[in-house]
Copies of this chain bind each other. A is one copy, B any other.
Amino acid sequence: MLNNNMGFKDNLDNIVKNNNSLLCVGLDPEADNIFDFNKNIIDATYDMVCAYKPNIAFYEAVGIVGIEQLKKTIDYLHKKYPEIPVILDAKRGDIGHTSAAYARYIFDYLQADAVTLHPYLGKDALQPFLDWKDKGCIILCRTSNPGAGEFQDLESNGKKLYQIVAEKVVNEWNFNNNCLLVVGATYPQELAELRKICGDMTFLVPGIGAQGGDTEKTVKAGINSHGAGIIISSSRGIIYAKDPRAEAKKLRDMINNYRK
């Protein structure tokens, strides 16, 4: 998708520069007329963002009619704003044969540019996703929920599970240079540790806004050596605001203020 012969990462780098933005708007509508709702948000914010991130759960929740609205939303984005990558938040992960089927759905049928993935089954299970070299594979590392540490903080040989996941992704899974990590804004200390482990790898950072993540701490902890490397995602805080454009601009500018 997007520009010919360019992968997700290059497209992301370009839009981060062109829109001067590290803000991703999460399209998680709980509304009637999902497409119209999304279109209003998109048309109001397209020059403020570096990505859109629909979470497929909110479309599936209303059944096939919702999935049709998701497809229509992604088609609209690619047609009207082809320079903006679409991250499908789908948190998939199964054995290889099955992951290949999921990848066909997400990358080929729905035409997403990147997807979020569960690491629990290991590299061989996710290989069919990783092999789509022009698509982004965004692996869950340290999630934003209150109980994220239940397993992710377990220590093995002096390292926590989420750190081991990060090292594996950086050193062994990223052979196509198409991997990113999910790191919650609600855990700025862990975010800072992961920045040390992961070089300049880009992190998708949910948890700002409704979930309580602090923007200043998040940006300062997560930014890479190029003053970028984080995609800060906000959903409910923007899409249900009285003026989504004003809210998106405010958050984009606040993020940029802390990048300096």
Cβ of A144 and Cβ of B71 under 8 Å apart?
no
A105 contacts the other chain (CB 8 A): yes
Cβ of B122 and Cβ of A148 under 8 Å apart?
yes
Which residue of the partner chain B has the closest CB to A207? B95
Interface size on A, residues (CB 8 A): 55
Q: Mark A142-175, 1 if CB is under 8 A from B, else 0.
A: 0111111111101111000100110010000000
- In the bound complex, residues from chain B placing their C-beta under 8 Å from that of A121 are 140, 143, 145, 147-148
30 residue pairs of the A-B complex, CB under 8 angstroms, read A28-B98, A55-B94, A55-B98, A55-B101, A57-B98, A57-B105, A60-B102, A60-B105, A61-B104, A63-B109, A64-B71, A91-B93, A91-B94, A93-B118, A119-B151, A120-B120, A120-B140, A120-B151, A121-B143, A121-B145, A123-B147, A124-B145, A124-B146, A124-B147, A151-B161, A151-B164, A151-B165, A154-B154, A156-B156, A161-B161
Known: A58-B101, A124-B145, A151-B168. 7 other contacts (CB 8 A): A57-B98, A60-B102, A63-B109, A64-B67, A122-B150, A124-B150, A150-B168
Chain A residues with CB under 8 Å of chain B are 28, 30, 55, 57-58, 60-64, 67-68, 71, 89, 91-96, 98-99, 101-102, 104-105, 109, 118-125, 140, 143-152, 154-157, 161, 164-165, 168, 211
